[in-house]
Amino acid sequence: PIAADGRVFITSRNGFVIVLEDGPKLKILSKNDMDEEILATPSIADGRLFTYDKKGSELVMLPAWPRSDEQRSQLKRNSATR
């Protein structure tokens, strides 16, 4: 996991990025399905969360609050062209 801006980001091997509120009680802010196996610890720079999938392709999420399926699809398309 990695923490920033009052949030804790957890990536899972099954391709989910779970965002928790940094606080005394468990509060899930979002669960983002990246449709790719994630094997690396994420890093944060310039307000963006960076991680890599099994193939080594860069996956970028910004910002990390709940988003629609269309926004996630657009983000993945943008990341694929990098």
pLDDT in tens, 16-31: 889 899 999 999 998 8
Q: Is 77 helix (H, G, I), strand (E, B) or coil?
A: helix
pLDDT level of residue 67 (50, 70, 90 thresholds):
low
Quick check: 17 and 38 in contact, CB under 8 A? yes
Instruction: Check residue 65 and give its pLDDT.
Output: 47
Residue 51, number of CB atoms within 10 A of its CB: 21
How far is Cα 28 from Cα 22, in angstroms, rounded to an integer? 10
Indicate the pTM of the whole model.
Answer: 0.66
Residues 55-74 have a mean pLDDT of 60
Determine the 3-state secondary structure of 67 from DSSP.
coil
At residue 27, the pLDDT reads: 95
Closest CA to 5 of 24, 27, 28, 22: 22
